Structure 1
Amino acid sequence: MLAHLLAALLACVLLPADAVTPTEDITCHHFSVGAAANFAVRHIDEHHQHGYKFKLGEIQGNKYEQTADGCNIDLQLALRETRCHFTNPKAVEDCEVLEMSEGGAAATCTVVLRRHLSGTTVTRHQCTTTPAHSSDDMMMCPDCPRMRPLNDPAAVMAVQEAVQKYNQESNNQHYFALLEIGRVLSGYIPSVGMVTYPKFILVETNCPKDSRVACTPRCPHRAQHAVCSTSSSKKGVKSPQCELFPAKDSTALEVEPQCGSSFHQSPEAAACTSQLTNTDPALHQICPFPLAVQLPQQEAL
């Protein structure tokens, strides 16, 4: 018993500043389960490099297992998708959860944390991502737009045209390329017909704004990002409405660094798809952690 008390005391003293905030100390006791859950959600969002940030909705269960130098914490969490894209610098606590009319996703997650003398780490998380609202919920809102697959042909064509409009109409110095389609809704308006409402995200490239060559996106920390929305109907594609986020690092450099491909072209994306227990083409699924990424095999000499 004394050993556990000493371990808990040392854990509080030695907890790294970047692990949790001072007002949210994680201990090996159930009364700190809220701090553990918030830590777990931050970890999930930090590793969710596509789509939108998620916010804690409910702690559905927790279990603590004492170890020699701390404890293991198993959490069952219910999360809700927010309006903040992962490129949005706003803290998730300040992000609003999506309304029924906006579609969105919900996730149920199993998260395993390890609390030890040097801090707290997440050793595993596995989430099931589903539409936030069931068909019964949507029956209560028959006029609400319905979610469509992210690769919906009408949405893809609308976004391609909207990207061109954005670059033609903006005052940006550099060309902005499509990073991803964030969400697609569609609905029927009697005077117009079917209307598609895509949301999409742009990333700054190294090319001048009027460039006509293939442009390479800047590294994530060096690039501005724009979160945009448009609509498309038989009347055409409207000019996008965009919110521009500044680069995290705008220091002038003689040569811009080169970074790898975006998440959707990465080995991690392929690993995520293969390891998901369910898939929905209308959603940005939360990937398992850790991901078992298969490295490309080197040719024999």
Structure 2
Amino acid sequence: MNPASPWTLRALQLFSAAAISLVVAVQLGLHNPFWAAMPVWVVAQPNRQDLLLRGTLRVLGTAIGAAIGWWALTALPDPTARIAVLTVTVALGTALTYWIGTAYSYGILLAAITIAVVLIPAMDHPVDAAALALDRIRCTMIGVIAVTVITFLFTPRRRERLPPRIAPPWRIVLRQGLLGAAAGLLAGLLLRHLGGPAGIASALSLCIFILIIGSARNPTPMLTYMPTGASIGVLAALAYRGLDLALPDPAGLALGLALPFLAAGAILRSRARTAPLGLDSNMCFLLTAEAGTAGHGFSAHLQGGVALVLTAFCLTALLRRLPAA
């Protein structure tokens, strides 16, 4: 391995940003510290302007989504009303991000994802709505600051102009919104009838996957890579949790064990050939493993991981059968 190769340097940057984010979030006592490492894999960009824009939109979108999620949890105690909010926000998020079709859609995408992340666990069991929303915002800021500071000087400016935005036909925008609405409604129903780790994972992954895939102008690569990337991430998460249970349990073991997995994820994400798999596998690893925390027991992680992978395969198989947009 040539230590001076571009992908090696990039992997070191991403690993450093993800590891620092996770460590800081754990040390601050945040309830879901693994959220802090998630922005690293998507905010890092090939060009400096896009890096800054993504970071800004991620923070703004997360703050708006967390506020809406908090409002829904405090103002709407009825489960049916919360499912309605989830359905509407996933539908609007999918349609609007598809309609915008540029880097500026990222803030809306993150707002819709954050609403789902805040709402869905609270629809299964009681949570402190304000603490959950603030936890999401703090973790996002930690991850965005870390990846921006570490990669900024190594990220060149984009010199060419971006291609002009092409407005899609409204019928396609409407179709994407309807797909989002169907996924959001199904997520709420699955959560109500399944519940527990499997229900939460199914609902979360269904909302997040449809928002990401449904908002893409060309979803074909995602339909190809997402199930495999999700499978890799879940297998890594189960290996991580298995090791955490098998080894002695000194303070900090869960955090230390996560670092080799973050390093492997950084390598996957940094190489052009494996970058799409790296993105999906890193996100699914962090979500399923709840890296850096004590976790909820191997059975809970297994149920959640299996539900996530099944959702990825079923959703992508269904979307492949739909006529092209």
Ranked by relative contact order (alpha carbons within 8 Å, sequence separation 6 or more), the top structure is 2
TM-score by length of 1: 0.27
Give the number of the structure whose alpha-carbon radius of gyration is greater: 1
Q: Which has the higher strand share?
A: 1
Q: Which has the higher helix share?
A: 2
TM-score by length of 2: 0.25
